[in-house]
Amino acid sequence: MKNIPSIQRTTTQPKDLVALRQAYQGWSNTPDPLTRLTRRLSTTLSLETQLGILAEEMGSIIPFDALSYRHQIARRDFVYATGMGGPHRCEYRLGLEGVCYGTLTLNRRHKFSDEELQGVEMIISAAICPLRNACQFIAIEQAALTDALTSIPNKRALDEHLQRASLLAERHAEEYSLILCDLDHFKEVNDQHGHVVGDHLLRLTAGALETAIRNSDSVYRFGGEEFAILLPHTGEQEARDVADRVRSAVANLRIDCGGTELSVTISCGVARYMPPEGAEQWITRADEALYRAKDQGRNCTRVFATIR
């Protein structure tokens, strides 16, 4: 019969449990402002919520008239502001382990004392780790919604935004339009010039589309050589005009391929949102319009006809 090893259990001594219980009670009920701040910050990964907590806790110790925060996360500006500013200010670049996590600025009508500035620095030191975690969480979320090649939103982001646009269009009776764009003969570009040139062309196309649209519009990489543009408060004719600007911007692109110059064209299909359809039906209609554009000679815009 084989020897069966015995299992020894280690038990926590009662005095350790008592000490743990006392420590927990002290931690949860402590009047210490730094402990209270970090405990509150640890309850959320929302950067906006964290900054609200920071402003509340800091304001209870060091009065200020305005607090603002600015940071660029995943190529997007994040701005938070509360209160009304004053002529005196202190500004802090929030850094941890050599990485910047934004700039925090306090303003008020009278000058900050040296003791108050030291207090601000201590509070920031306690808050920097939770703020870093919130920034990283936003970056991870944005990465999941961003196309790695072109750095514009991907199809997952488009799906989410189309769902939201559909709800807003029905709720507020607003017009939304969708443009699907497809580079003409893109396979020939890859076959003749290689995928490096093809990838470069896709990045240039994404940039050209962004410059051709309005600030309120959004560009997405729908897949492969296909792009999508979501246009709020836009009817069919306005969307057609945007699509024609897009085609013109892409047609003006030039790529030097070592002695030969590469240029391309793009085809566009337009569909206005028709309640109460879902996002998939909306995309399908835009895709049908795009198919007609490709079938009828390419480098043109076709609109999915709707009855008003």
Q: What is the CATH number of the domain that holds 93?
A: 3.30.450.40
My answer on whether 294 and 215 are in the same domain is yes
Catalytic residue ranges: 225
My answer on whether 204 and 96 are in the same domain is no
My answer on whether 298 and 160 are in the same domain is yes
Give 161-205 pLDDT, tens digit per residue: 999 999 988 888 889 999 999 999 999 999 988 999 999 999 999
> How many domains does the chain fold into?
2
Bridge partners of residue 91, in order along the sequence: 105
Q: What is the mean pLDDT of residues 62-87?
A: 93
Residue 221 falls inside a structural domain = yes
Residue 36 falls inside a structural domain = yes
Q: What is the mean pLDDT of residues 207-211?
A: 95
Q: E strands along 74-215, which residues?
A: 76-83, 88-96, 99-108, 176-183
Give the residue from 121, 144, 167 where a domain finishes: 144
* Average pLDDT over all residues of the chain: 91
Give the residue from 144, 179, 203 where a domain finishes: 144
User: Between 155-172 and 279-295, two packed helices, what is the crossing angle to 10 degrees?
Assistant: 110
Phi, psi of 302 (to 5 degrees): -125, 145
My answer on whether 136 and 164 are in the same domain is no
Residue 308 falls inside a structural domain = no
Give the residue from 124, 144, 164 where a domain finishes: 144
Q: What is the mean pLDDT of residues 270-298?
A: 94
My answer on whether 105 and 196 are in the same domain is no
My answer on whether 109 and 25 are in the same domain is yes
Confidence of residue 9 (pLDDT cuts 50, 70, 90): low
* Cβ proximity of 52 and 131 under 8 Å: no
Q: Tell me the C-alpha distance between 249 and 118, whole Å.
A: 54
My answer on whether 189 and 129 are in the same domain is no
* Cβ proximity of 273 and 177 under 8 Å: yes
Residue 235 falls inside a structural domain = yes
Q: Tell me the C-alpha distance between 174 and 7, whole Å.
A: 69
Q: Which domain holds residue 62?
A: 15-144
My answer on whether 45 and 128 are in the same domain is yes
Residue 149 falls inside a structural domain = no
My answer on whether 60 and 173 are in the same domain is no
My answer on whether 180 and 211 are in the same domain is yes
pLDDT at 308 (0 to 100): 43
Residue 4 falls inside a structural domain = no
* Cβ proximity of 62 and 56 under 8 Å: no
CATH number of the domain to which 269 belongs: 3.30.70.270
Q: Tell me the C-alpha distance between 61 and 44, whole Å.
A: 22
Q: Report the percentage of the chain scoring pLDDT > 70.
A: 94
Confidence of residue 306 (pLDDT cuts 50, 70, 90): low
My answer on whether 139 and 173 are in the same domain is no
For the cut 60, the answer to whether the pLDDT of residue 263 exceeds it is yes
Residue 2 falls inside a structural domain = no
My answer on whether 62 and 126 are in the same domain is yes
Residue 7 falls inside a structural domain = no
